[in-house]
Chains A and B, each alone.
Chain A
Amino acid sequence: MSTVAPARDRGPAHRAADTGRPRRPHRRLSSSLSSLSWSSLLYVAPALAFFGVFVLYPIGVSVWYSFYAYDGLTVGTPVGWDNYTAVFTDSQLRAALLHSLLLLFFYAALPVSVGLLLAGAMSRIRVYGLTLFRAVLFVPQILSSVVVAVAWRNLLAEDGPVNAVLRAVGLGRFATSWLGNFDTALPSIGVVGTWVEYGLCMVLFLSGIVAIDRSTYEAARLDGAGAVREFFSITLPALRPQISIALILTVTFALRNFDLIWNTTRGGPGTSTTVPSLYVYQDAFQNRMLGRASALAIVLTVVILLVVVAVQLLLRERDGTRSGPVRRGLARRGLERSRLARPAGKKAQS
C-alpha cells in the first residue's frame, strides 16, 4: 500500500518556516493556534485508532516474535538474536538477499536511467501529444501485479511472442523458456520490473522538466552548451527532487516485490528467484517458523527505511555548496513552490 512514498523534501519546508515572514497580526487573536487544542484529538483519534491497531501494534508484535522460536501453536522460547543471525548466515536467505540486490539494478537503476535519458531528450524539443504519451507510459503502473504476471508469462513462454521474434530474426538459438530456465528466470523478472517502473520514472521527470524555466536552457545555449552539458548542468540538478522520489518508489518496490515473484515463478526454478518477502510469507504461513519470518520482515523494514533516509540525504537540495547562480536560482524556486504548498509559518506552529 505504501507505493506512494513520502518523498517530501522537508529541507525547504523547514527553511521556509525559519525564514518565515513576520507573523500576521490576526494570528494572535486566533485561540486555536496559540494554545494546544485538546479537542482536536477527537478529529485525529479515529484515524489514529485504525493506524495503531492494524499497523503499529502488529509491528510491535513482530519485533517481539523476532526474539522467539515460535511455531504459532506451542509456547515460544526466547532465543535472543538467533533469528537475526540466521537471516544473515542462512545460505538460502543470503541468496535471497543477493537476488534482491540484482533486482535493484533492474527495478530501480535501469528505469531511472532510461527515464532520465528520455526526459533529457524531451527537454530539448517541443513534444507533440505529451498528454497521450504520458497516459500510455503510465499504464503499467495501474495494472494489478497479477495481471502483469499473466501477461508476461505469456510473452516469455516457450512458444510466446518474445521467442517468436527471436526466431524470426535468426536468433532462435537464444529462444528459451525464459521464466523456467535457471539462468534466465531472475533477469527475466528483472525485465518485467523495469517495464513496470520506467513509465513512472519518465512521467515523474517530465513533471519536473515542465517546471524548469525555458530561459535557463536558452541562456545555456547562447553560452554554447551542447546537449550533454545542458543535461548535466541544468536538467539533472533541477530534477533532484523527482529523482529522489523515483528512487524511493522503485527501490521500495524492488525490495518488497512479493506479488510479481509469487505469480510468475514462486521463487523457482529451484531457488533461483527467491527474495526475502517470499521467505517471510513461506516461513510465516507454510513452514511455521514465525520467529524467523518476523526477524526477516524486520530486517527488510529496516533496510527499506535506511534506503529511504539515504536517498533523501544524498539528494536533498544543498544550496550554497558548489552551486552556480543557475542552481541557486532553481533551489530558490523549489523553496518557493514548497512555500506555496504549505503556507509559511504553519509548520512552525504545529
Chain B
Amino acid sequence: MRIARTESVATHALLVLASVVAVFPLVSIVVSSLDGSSGGLSLSSYSSAWTQGRFGSALLSSALVSVTVVVATVILASLAGYALATMRVPGGRIILGLLLLGLVLPYEVTVLPLYEMLAGWHLIDTYWALILPQIALSVPLGVLWMRSFFASVPQELLEAARIDGTSRFQTLRLVVLPIAGPALTTLGTVLFLFTWNEFLLALILVPDNAAVQTVPLALSFFSGAARSSDPAVTAAAAVLVALPVLLAYTVLQRRLISGLTEGAVK
C-alpha cells in the first residue's frame, strides 16, 4: 500500500512537471508582453503591436479565410462522405485511396505549381489564393471523417427513410445531418485550427499584400523586422495571434483533442 502511494505521488509529480513544461513558453511570452518599459505591468505593448503590426486587419483576414474554408469544406465533405458511406460510388475504392494518400502528403510538393496556376489566374495576393487551395487540402480529412460518421449511422434509419419514399438527398438533409452535429463540430474545430495556423501557403501565395495577410504571416514579418527592437511588443503580437485559438480551445477542448487523436485512430 505504502509503495503504491509513493508511486502515485511520484507519477503525479512527473505529470505536473510535464504540464508545467508544456505551458511554460506560452506563459513566458504572456509575462514578457505585460512587461512595461518602466518596470510595472502595462498593456502598452499590445497597443503598439496592434497599430505597428496591423494585427486588427490580419485577425479579420484570418477569420474570413478560416470561416470560409471550414464552411465550404464541411459542405463538400458531408456530400462526398455521405455518398461514399451509403451508396455504391463508381471508382469508390480509387477515390478512397487517393484521399488516404492526400492525408499524409506533404503539400510542399504542390506549392510551386499552385503558385504558377494562381498567378496565371491573377489570384496571387487575394483571399482566393488562400481559400481555394486550403479547401482542397482539407477535403481528404473532411471526407474521410464524415464518411466514417455516416457509416456509423444505423442502417435501419436509412432504410426507414427510403421506405417512406424520402429521396437520398432529403435523407441526408432531414435525417442524417440533424444527428451529425457533434461530428460536424469536431471536424469544423480541427479544420479551423489548421487553417488559422497555416503559414507556408500564406508566405507563398499572399506575399506582397498586407491587406489580405493572415495572422501567422503578419507575426512572422513583424517579429522578423522587429527582432532587434522591443521584445515585449513581439511577445504581445504573439499572444494576440494565439488568443483566438486558445479561446476556442478552452470551450471546445475535449472535441479538439478527440478530433486530433481519435480522428487519426479511425
Interface residues, chain A, CB within 8 Å of chain B? 1-9, 24, 26, 30, 32-38, 40-41, 43-44, 46-48, 50-51, 53-59, 61-62, 65, 72, 118, 121-122, 124-128, 131, 133-155, 157, 161, 195, 198-200, 202-204, 207, 241-242, 245, 248-249, 252, 255-256, 258-259, 262-263, 277, 280-281, 284-285, 290, 293-294, 297-298, 300-301, 304-305, 308, 340-343, 346, 349-350
Contact = CB atoms under 8 A, between A and B. Distances in A.
B99 to A, nearest CB: 7
A280 to B, nearest CB: 5
B148 A341 contact: yes
B223 A150 contact: yes
Contacts of A241: 265
Residue among A24, A37, A55, A139 facing the most chain B CB atoms (10 A cut-off): A55
B260 A4 contact: yes
Interface in B22-52: 22-26, 28-29, 32
Contacts of A142: 193, 197, 245-246, 249, 256
B114 A125 contact: no
A152 B24 CA distance: 10
A142 B23 CA distance: 12
A72 B22 contact: no
B117 interface: yes
19 contacts: A2-B105, A5-B104, A32-B86, A32-B168, A40-B87, A40-B88, A44-B89, A48-B80, A48-B95, A55-B110, A62-B109, A65-B112, A134-B257, A146-B217, A153-B223, A157-B231, A300-B108, A305-B105, A341-B266
A242 B263 CA distance: 12
B137 A1 contact: yes
B125 to A, nearest CB: 14
B197 A43 contact: no
Given A1-B107, A294-B112, 17 more contacts: A3-B194, A34-B88, A38-B90, A43-B87, A47-B76, A136-B22, A138-B257, A141-B260, A144-B242, A151-B235, A195-B25, A241-B265, A298-B109, A300-B109, A340-B152, A346-B151, A350-B92
Contacts, number: 354
Contact of A62 (B14, B77, B113, B196): B113
Contact of B106 (A46, A131, A252, A340): A252
Closest 6 pairs (CB-CB, A-B): A54-B136, A43-B83, A61-B113, A58-B113, A40-B87, A151-B25
Interface string B121-156: 000000000001111111111111000100110010
A6 B145 CA distance: 10
A183 to B, nearest CB: 22
A313 B148 CA distance: 23
Contacts of B194: 1, 3
A241 B264 CA distance: 10
Interface of A is mostly: helix
Given A2-B103, A54-B133, A118 B18 contact: yes
B118 to A, nearest CB: 9
Interface string B208-243: 000000011101100110000001001101100110
Interface residues of B, number: 114
Residue among A1, A5, A35, A53 facing the most chain B CB atoms (10 A cut-off): A1
B79 A43 contact: yes
A58 B24 CA distance: 40
A170 B8 CA distance: 32
A41 B224 CA distance: 48
A285 to B, nearest CB: 7
A53 B136 contact: yes
A78 to B, nearest CB: 17
B11 interface: yes
A242 B112 contact: no
B29 A150 contact: yes
A203 B15 CA distance: 12
B110 A151 contact: no
Interface in B49-100: 76-77, 79-80, 82-90, 92-93, 95-96, 98-100
Contacts of B151: 341-343, 346
A72 to B, nearest CB: 7
Nearest to A345: B155
A115 to B, nearest CB: 9
Residue among B105, B138, B168 facing the most chain A CB atoms (10 A cut-off): B105
